[in-house]
Chains A and B, each alone.
Chain A
Amino acid sequence: MDSGAVRATDAAASVDAEAADAAENVSTTARSSTAATIPRMTRPRDCMATGVAAGLADHLGWSVWLVRAAFVLATIAAGAGVLLYLWLWVFTPWREGDQRPTRSAPVAWLLVGASTVCLLGVWIASGVWTLAAAEIEGSRSLVTLAGIAFAVAAAAWATLIDRPDPARGPRHELAVRAFATVLLAITALVQIFIVSRQSDTVVSFAVALAAVFGIALVYVPTLIAAWRDLTVERTKRIREEQRSEIAAHLHDSVLQTLALIQNRAGATSEVARIARAQERELRDWLFAGDAPADSDLGTDLRNFGAALEIDYAVTVDVVVVGESRESASGEVAAAAREAMLNAARHAGGEVSVYVESSPDAVEVFVRDRGPGFALAEVPGDRLGVRESIIGRMRRSGGSGEVRPGAGGIGTEVRLRFPSERVEASRG
């Protein structure tokens, strides 16, 4: 069992995985007499180039180097090794796991190297045997074509296979492609130069065309990606248009009806509350794109108000002014929620919430039109207002105040939180 040796070269292989593999391997050797227990052939996610040799070695219980040697030997037999390798590469799945496959061998650079060797060799050879050019004409074209193929393969490998690899990525891809482009461009120029000097112009011209075509191939994946992006963008736009069409339609029909229901049923009746909750839900769904994903104080209180409307006979009107820097998890939000809950529970009817974020402070006003109460008359064991609103604000450096509403109707809770405290509590 030599797969361990291969994996030892990969620093990334986790101890757990190795332990699990070792156990698997032991069980394989113990019961290797029955074919059924041989593990399904898979390619390890931490591999050298493609994982075919390592996978096959695991499967057969051979040394991985033996497998590689076998592939090389079989290649001599009319390329059977290469075909088998490609076939296995296509049809063998990756080993189970969610880690992205990484490759230890710099395949793209090896291909670039092969291409460079071929092309440089040809150029040097043409320089040395300029006079005897006719004799080497055929083989030189073949080697040049091989160099072109290697360069294109390197670029394709870098784009299609190395790009998602966390160890390489887009910068590596760009470098490989730039190198391949330069090689191919020089090849094309050299070929055109040869065309101008030589007898067998057709072949040389074809090779020059191949080099130009190769450059095009190097950039095909980018074009495909751009095309795909464009298509996605278009689909998105069409969907957006459809959505706004639906929104306009619902706005004209369903929302109007819901408004009418609320209007006719009286502001605090059960029917009106359900209609209002539905209206809000529908509106949220229709205009979901506008809302910021990150919940700030205003959004949070709005949502909380909507939830209260379902549970209590209230309508909550939330008005937000200024850029809200306060997060929904802060003390202000908690105190404001408590005040809103109190208003909904004890007062009902219409509750107005006003949030203003100025550079100096965040202020929240919660106003109801219920029977009202004086803080002094609340028994000492009732902690709601005293502790969760005023006490909480004072402890966190702000201030809270409960007072009768304007004209003696209802109650107004006022919360104030200075800005520097906001910064501190956020950090």
Chain B
Amino acid sequence: MEYFIQQLVNGITLGSIYGLIAIGYTMVYGIIGMINFAHGDIFMIGAFVALISFIIFGLTGVALPIILLLVLIIAMLFTACYGWTVEKLAYKPLRGSFRLAPLISALGMSIVLQNYVQVAQGARVKPMQPLISGGLEFFKNSEFVVTVSYLQIFIVILTIILMGIFTYLITKTDLGRAQRACEQDRTMTALLGINVDRTISITFIIGSSLASVAGMMFVLYYGVIDFYIGFLAGIKAFTAAVLGGIGSLPGAMLGGLLIGLIETFWAGYVSLEYKDVAAFSVLIVVLIFFPTGFLGKPDIEKV
């Protein structure tokens, strides 16, 4: 039982990270109908920017909460630039091209970003000392002590705050309305005087910023990153987006949580080596049996 609760806590933390990445996939898919294959690598770049800023601020000796806030803002800003540029360079010229063209272009972009970081930052893994240590302990009298670290609490609370802000943005503001309109009908939205190009750019910026927050959490949580983390994390987050119903924002978060839980429980109870197989199998099973996911709208193909 205690072991189960510990896995649950770990799963929720991991799920928050996946959920934040999954939002980027689901938003882009909703608005331009393509799988942004390079999104995982945007997350990786966010993790690197966060790592670099942690090292720089670590030298200044500022208080920890201020460092966290500064790193968060910096990572979001710089990573958003990457998202914006990738969209402008690789996807915008391909709107209206045949369906697989943007996917292949995204694949190329993903290879470019990975190898660019490998060249610029070196291929070796980058370790970082834990910044937030300690935690709360439960069930102290039993055999297995459940530990909820402050870091896990921080990750989950930050995710909840960001989700709150984000939901407000999408449901209540003009920007969100414009985005939802673009999802439904881009031509009609343009006729109504909304700058569609700008709305799509902003979608990429928001998606990348959230991915960079996930990247920062990843650095803090695992303490080790390399240029290759984006690939697996990206695939899992995409699975999460599909599981929750691609195009649906609450779905992305729910899917992220589920994937995080499945992965931790699989690693905890079944087999550690095959934990990535679990994520991929879930992806295949979900796509075959519920292609629309849990909260997605059915997709009707028209002639």
Do A and B pair up? The answer is no
The interface of chain A, by Cβ under 8 A from chain B, is: none
The interface of chain B, by Cβ under 8 A from chain A, is: none
